[in-house]
Amino acid sequence: MSLDDNLEPTFQAVKPGFEPMNVEGLSLAELRKYIAHAQTEIQRAESEINSREELRSDADALFKSQ
């Protein structure tokens, strides 16, 4: 095993616990709360992606300037 093997992402497809929720039995209010929660989680994930992309761009710029 090389050092690069440790750098590979470990996330593969969908993590356990992310199974689709059975929404058929939820009330309208519960559905709205569920959607609001899902949108908040999407925003958190997108924010993390943006942060990592900015960091990567900064690192790329640093190494290209040398």
Per residue in 14-34, pLDDT (tens digit) is 666 678 889 999 999 999 999
In angstroms, rounded to a whole number, what is the distance separating the alpha carbons of residues 11 and 30?
30
State which residues form the domain around 66: 25-66
pLDDT at 57 over 70: yes
What is the domain count for the chain? 1
The answer to whether position 61 is within a domain reads yes
The answer to whether position 66 is within a domain reads yes
Which residue bears the tokens 């969908």? 14
The answer to whether position 35 is within a domain reads yes
pTM over 0.75? The answer is no
Q: Which residues neighbour 21 within 8 Å (Cβ) at sequence distance 6 or greater? A: 34
| Mean per-residue pLDDT over the chain, rounded | 83
Q: Give the model's confidence band at 4: pLDDT under 50 very low, under 70 low, under 90 confident, else very high.
A: low
Q: What pLDDT, on the 0 to 100 scale, is given for residue 3? A: 53
The answer to whether position 7 is within a domain reads no
